[in-house]
Amino acid sequence: MMRIWLMTLIACGVLNASSISAPLLEVQGDRATITAENLRDGMSGFIVRQFDAAHSTIIANARVEKSNPADHRAILKISPYTGLHQDALPSGNWQPRASDTAVLAYDYERALVIAPNDDTYDAITKSISGVEWVHPDNYATFLSYEGHQTPLVEDFQSYCTANSIGLLYVQSADQLFTLDCKSFTLLQTTQFAKVAEKERTPFYTRIPTIRGAWWGKGSSSLKSYEPYYLEIIALSNSKNKELYELYKAKFSSDNALLRNFDFKE
């Protein structure tokens, strides 16, 4: 009971708070700076331009590239907006500028859970309040359409973008990894052991079969749950020193997972 209570306290602090809005202070190329509290590296969002009191539009994607907790200043990486794609409609050619507004962590109240079994899935979703859970059955259906029996990082990103999902929770190696689902950046880790030994691949879902394509990346079935998710989290966060130390503490120093990091001792 204490573990669950602590889990709720930690997860519902910064990550499940309201979205964070701040004006751009300056823009240089594809970088912009803002000042705001509770920012974390990897948080995703977008840039909004206000034309008048009644009209505004999203003009770009944004991701926190580097934040400084001391002065609450952060550098944002700006890229073309991909949330709404429609070739039949014209798109604006606006470039972000100072006084435009960055909106970050906008979809963090909606989340997807990847768990090895239904008991662990239930424990996670009941431990975290204030979240609208998107059931993994929906994600499994998406993977069948894509022909990916093994979910790719790009699958998570495109699915979460299309369905306005901000957070991805992955339970593996007695940890609950919290990632920004659109950038796949690790935001937080919390100790959380799986509830039962049974294991479903590629994750717990009530969909009996995820169809695979004839060939291509992701088309083969996933053989082992835990190593795969630990690897893709490491590959997408290869400069995260805390994650490296966590893996090093849990596994031997010559474990293949440690080779996915971009720095040496």
Tens-place pLDDT, residues 18-65: 799 999 999 999 999 999 999 999 999 999 999 988 999 999 999 999
Are residues 94 and 118 located together in one domain of the fold? no
Residue 262 has pLDDT above 90, yes or no: no
Q: How confident is the model at residue 1 (pLDDT cuts 50, 70, 90)?
A: very low
φ, ψ (nearest 5 deg) of residue 67: -120, 150
Are residues 124 and 245 located together in one domain of the fold? yes
Q: Which of 85, 104, 123 is the last residue of a domain?
A: 104
Q: How confident is the model at residue 106 (pLDDT cuts 50, 70, 90)?
A: very high
pTM: 0.90
Q: What is the DSSP letter of 137?
A: H
Q: Which of 40, 71, 104 is the last residue of a domain?
A: 104
Report the C-alpha gap between 213 and 63 in whole angstroms.
32
> What's the confidence (pLDDT) of residue 264?
60
Q: How confident is the model at residue 13 (pLDDT cuts 50, 70, 90)?
A: very low
Are residues 204 and 243 located together in one domain of the fold? yes
Q: What is the pLDDT of residues 145-180, one digit of tens each?
A: 999 999 999 999 999 999 999 999 999 999 999 999
Contact between 57 and 81 under an 8 Å Cβ cutoff? The reply is no
Q: What's the angle, vertex CA 125, arms to CA 119 and CA 126, rounded to 5? A: 85
Number of domains in the chain: 2
Question: CB count, 10 Å around CB of 253?
Answer: 8
Task: Name the nearest CA neighbour of 229 among 150, 162, 167.
Answer: 150
Are residues 52 and 170 located together in one domain of the fold? no
Alpha helices in the chain (DSSP H): 2-11, 118-127, 136-146, 153-162, 225-236, 241-250
Q: Is 74 exposed, middle or buried (0-12, 13-18, 19+ CB in 10 A)?
A: buried
Question: Domain span at residue 95?
Answer: 26-104
Task: Name the nearest CA neighbour of 237 among 177, 167, 149, 172.
Answer: 177
Residue 8 has pLDDT above 50, yes or no: no
Give domain status of residue 57, yes or no: yes
